[in-house]
Structure 1
Amino acid sequence: MVSPEDVFQEFADSEGAQKHYREHNAKRDEVAEEELQPLINEFQNDDVDVVEFKSRIDGLNKRNQLWGFDGFIGQMHFNKLLNAAPDESKFGDRLRKAIQTPGSIAEAGEKIDSFAEYTQRLKDNDIDSDPFPKSTIFLLSYFWHIQEPTEWPIFYPTSEQYLGDEGLLDTDAPYGTRYANFVETLDELQAEAETQLESTVEYRDIANAVYWHEEWDESATKGEETSGGTEARDTFVDVDKPYLPPVVADLDEVAAGTEGAVNRYAPVDTDLAVVFEQKCGTLFEMLGFDTELLGQGSGRNPDGIAVAARNDYAVIYDAKKRQDGYRIGRDDRTIREYIEAHTRRLRDQGKQHIYFAIVSSSFRDTEESTLRDLRTNTDIDNIVLLKAKVLQELLRMRLEEPYLNLDDMEWVFGNRPGEIQSEELENIVPEWRQDDSGFSVS
């Protein structure tokens, strides 16, 4: 292992890491001050309920992946807690108290132990959601850090593992004690680093240095430099074509009606919208669903129904070929008809959860109120928007990792309404495979 002193020095000497984290930290400060802190205040003041708070926190962290909250131990854990809570209002009150910043390290430990015990009770009483008590440390420390960044460090798994390996942290201690010791250890490292580097060091600088040492990939910054910024770099959504069967490898091109797709299917004299429907059905079958194709020629119907035969859910899906992206607009009436026409039959077949998915090249001007209305006023459990590229990526993961099953994939359709982003697909990796999958948070 490399000593903390050497880790700090390596981090300080790396121009790539310094440039990346200067920009990263500046963005963190901006988002925390202008968006996250006001939202937390609204929640603390009871101006928004816990359901809206969860949704807006999710959206902010998906758009600004700066703290690692959008993964398993952050947002997904939050989702599990809310799903397991028998009373949303009482859970919201409990969370409001928990995320209030502590007055001392001792109080921080007590808050973590208390909320972890509460999480364990939710876990024991709800076999479906399965929240993980240890994630309490990350969850609460994230909210404390956003509010008082110089007082409370985020408990990152990478930092915990490194400090444990160095003998600087007892990773088997009770959760509250572990976080209290974590803060004390970082205080000592902070003082040592400031002396060594002759500059001010924050908690996040220590976390950044450890993450850079343990997980850093220099190609990340090189990719940003050559692509013109982080927004242009989206490696997760880029489909690795060799892993996709040829029949669905061009699903994204067909969805967008590209010139290449038009020319490719012109000889078969089949409308490209029909080709897209057929390919979507084939892809759902490859994922493991029993797929009932409807669509063209079957009257007023969605394009298909994907049934998880050995599970308790089904997905009604509609494929929308669009060059400029799909907008629901007035189609909500049609979607409502599709739902009403098929949910009763699916319920009779024993499907406890029924989801609706729209697949297209991209989406624009989506009104969340429309999705909420459909979810609230129809017999559907959730409605999601899936880019064709995201569906391809889901299949690639399924073919590369045969342990993934339809139980795991239900997260994509049932977690939350709205557009599912490619980076969210990491959430379907089972907890027991997190270490093997290369998943990390920082």
Structure 2
Amino acid sequence: MISAGTQTQITTIWDQYISDNKTVLDTKGVPYDDIDNNRLKAIVTLKAIVQEFIAGTIDIAEFKTAVDSFNKQHNFWGFTSIKGQMFFNLLLKTSEGEVEMQKLTTLLKGCVAEPKDLQDALNKIEALDKYVSAIFNKAPNKRKAPNPGSIGYFLSYFWQIHDPQQWPIMYSSMIVSFTDIGLWESPKTQKEAYREFYTLNEEIKSILSKHTGHVVSNWDAEHAFWNFRTVTAYPKKEKPVNIPIVQTEITMEQSVSALTQASFDIYDYVPRITANLIALGKEIEDSNSGKGSKYEKAVCEVFKQLGFVIESLGQGKGREPDLIAIHKEDNVAFIVDAKAYANGYMMGASDERAMREYINYYCPKLKKEGIQRIGFIIVSNGFKSSFDSFVNDITWRTDIKRFILLSSDALLHLLAYRIKDQKDLSEIVETMISLGKTITAQDVIQQFDDI
């Protein structure tokens, strides 16, 4: 039974949602246009994909690809993140061999089918948990194994495709909100967690239905708590002294979407030597020769902390990029140029000529060293233009395979997730390559944070 005080908190969260005109934000903070109707339309296609898999019309690999492809175009449930598609990818990757793949196929067909009731749902979670835990516990590198902690979200996503009214999705963001208002105490297993989550969700819908005078759905409750999500459930550590921190406190009056802010304080993990990167990126010194040198050194330090082998160039070494970041294990190198501009970086003609010179000189040199995948990264606090014409020309006419505009904030977030979750540098590299030409902090959060 939820206490009277907590019930008041729940109705306050709902009233805030209503006062915000039921605004639901996507993972980049942009309001969804009629998300519920869009979900209903999407469910028609998703349900057909699930039924094809259950019926054996498509195999498990085709099922994974179809779900991935659809959600990349219609990401109304956040499935593209860690507990959804990444979990699915690792599940297949670690189930090697024809016999094991058939075992997984049979298990998954039963698990993604709609449960008969809550007990049946819990049995499905328990069955998949047993399978995944066996893989996870034996894995020498657990970061490359499917995490059992993803199972509740993963399966409840598919159940909601069958019946949105019956099955709530166990979002991590809702768990954080439940924790914030004192409703959650971390059950030991995924089975216990979903039972607790389902029960709480039903109680919350009942409280809100009584409060509003009409039936409140799973999606109504989800939207209200999704936008309420805060980071207050994560204890704050003392910040380094005299270091500017670009961060805002989240309150009820400043609702954010589920993935517009990391679920932890990145400055608890970013080393002190790099923590003032954003402030340095705004610095404009009197001396032209000195302008931006501290920022360049800080950018270089972040790439070192990420695990790259660094060839530091830049200030004092003539017409050079600021550094070359090499990851020999994956045959990858990035030519990196750091730009400290208080009002956002816009490329001039001299910069364009310089970057072409860097590329023409360093690409052949790196290829002689056996590096086959070469990218170019500009790091700055912000960018004033899209650079489309220049980037298209570079990637078409040179050996540069990827051109990235990386914000200082995004770079710090990459480092924080690398340290916090002990991610492989290979995963960081593939993330930078896959996220698109311009990478923001929100892009990194969407990729690595819980849903």
Q: What TM-score, normalized by structure 2, do the two folds share? A: 0.59
Letter of the aligned partner of 2:349 in structure 1? V
C-alpha distance 404-162 of structure 1, shift in aligned 2 (>3 A): closer
Letter of the aligned partner of 1:323 in structure 2? S
- 1:344-395, CA deviations, whole angstroms, 9 ceiling, x for partnerless residues? xxxxxxxxxxxxx9213xxxxxxxxxxxxxxxxxxxxxxxxxxx12598764
Any unmatched runs of 5+ in structure 2? 1-5, 26-30, 231-251, 258-276, 283-294, 300-313, 315-321, 323-335, 340-344, 378-386
- 1:258-287, CA deviations, whole angstroms, 9 ceiling, x for partnerless residues? 994433354xxx6x5442466xxxxxxxxx
Task: Identify the match of residue 60 of structure 1 among 46, 64, 70.
Answer: 70
- 1:306-364, CA deviations, whole angstroms, 9 ceiling, x for partnerless residues? 6xxxxxxxx7336699727659x999xx99xxxxxxxxxxxxxxxxxxxxx9213xxxx
Bigger relative contact order (CA 8 A; separation at least 6)? 2
Mapped pair 1:411 → 2:427: yes
- CA-CA distance at 1:110 after TM superposition: 0.6
The aligned counterpart of 2:358 is 275
C-alpha distance 400-83 of structure 1, shift in aligned 2 (>3 A): closer
C-alpha distance 8-54 of structure 1, shift in aligned 2 (>3 A): same
Q: Counterpart of 1:32 in 2: which secondary structure? A: helix
- CA-CA distance at 1:174 after TM superposition: 3.4
Q: What TM-score, normalized by structure 1, do the two folds share? A: 0.60
- Would the aligned equivalents of 1:398 and 1:404 in 2 still touch at CA under 8 Å? no
- 1:64-103, CA deviations, whole angstroms, 9 ceiling, x for partnerless residues? 3322222222222222222221233432332222111101
In 1: Cα distance, 2:412 partner to 2:391 partner: 23
Greater fraction helix: 1
- CA-CA distance at 1:133 after TM superposition: 1.1
In 1: Cα distance, 2:346 partner to 2:176 partner: 50
- CA-CA distance at 1:203 after TM superposition: 0.6
In 2: Cα distance, 1:428 partner to 1:127 partner: 24
Q: Say which is worse superposed, 166-175 or 205-214, in terms of deviation.
A: 166-175
- Would the aligned equivalents of 2:139 and 2:145 in 1 still touch at CA under 8 Å? yes
Mapped pair 1:90 → 2:103: yes
CA RMSD across the alignment = 4.4
The aligned counterpart of 1:317 is 374
Identity rate of aligned residues, in percent? 18
- Would the aligned equivalents of 2:126 and 2:190 in 1 still touch at CA under 8 Å? yes
Q: Say which is worse superposed, 112-121 or 204-213, in terms of deviation.
A: 204-213
C-alpha distance 414-259 of structure 1, shift in aligned 2 (>3 A): closer
Task: Identify the match of residue 349 of structure 2 among 257, 262, 267.
Answer: 262
- Would the aligned equivalents of 1:84 and 1:122 in 2 still touch at CA under 8 Å? yes
In 2: Cα distance, 1:198 partner to 1:325 partner: 56
Task: Identify the match of residue 191 of structure 1 among 196, 206, 222.
Answer: 206
In 1: Cα distance, 2:444 partner to 2:56 partner: 32
- Would the aligned equivalents of 2:205 and 2:216 in 1 still touch at CA under 8 Å? yes
Task: Identify the match of residue 112 of structure 2 among 99, 110, 117.
Answer: 99
C-alpha distance 102-389 of structure 1, shift in aligned 2 (>3 A): same
- Would the aligned equivalents of 2:177 and 2:228 in 1 still touch at CA under 8 Å? no
C-alpha distance 358-18 of structure 1, shift in aligned 2 (>3 A): closer
- 1:205-235, CA deviations, whole angstroms, 9 ceiling, x for partnerless residues? 11211222233785869xxxxxxxxxxxxxx
- Would the aligned equivalents of 2:176 and 2:229 in 1 still touch at CA under 8 Å? no
- Would the aligned equivalents of 1:76 and 1:427 in 2 still touch at CA under 8 Å? no
- Would the aligned equivalents of 1:305 and 1:316 in 2 still touch at CA under 8 Å? no
1:153-192 correspondence to structure 2 within 5 Å:
153-164=168-179, 166=181, 168=183, 171-192=186-207
In 1: Cα distance, 2:151 partner to 2:109 partner: 14
- 1:282-306, CA deviations, whole angstroms, 9 ceiling, x for partnerless residues? xxxxxxxxxxx5x34x6xx958756
- Would the aligned equivalents of 1:169 and 1:178 in 2 still touch at CA under 8 Å? no
- CA-CA distance at 1:151 after TM superposition: 1.1
C-alpha distance 112-70 of structure 1, shift in aligned 2 (>3 A): same
In 1: Cα distance, 2:32 partner to 2:435 partner: 27
In 2: Cα distance, 1:261 partner to 1:174 partner: 56
Q: Say which is worse superposed, 131-140 or 65-74, in terms of deviation.
A: 65-74
- 1:398-433, CA deviations, whole angstroms, 9 ceiling, x for partnerless residues? 5677837995331145689x844446644775xxxx
In 2: Cα distance, 1:412 partner to 1:49 partner: 30
Task: Identify the match of residue 203 of structure 1 among 218, 223, 227.
Answer: 218
In 2: Cα distance, 1:64 partner to 1:217 partner: 29
- 1:27-80, CA deviations, whole angstroms, 9 ceiling, x for partnerless residues? 32233334x223223322333332333233333333433222222222222222
Any unmatched runs of 5+ in structure 1? 222-238, 252-257, 279-292, 307-314, 336-356, 361-387, 430-438
- CA-CA distance at 1:118 after TM superposition: 0.8
C-alpha distance 389-154 of structure 1, shift in aligned 2 (>3 A): same
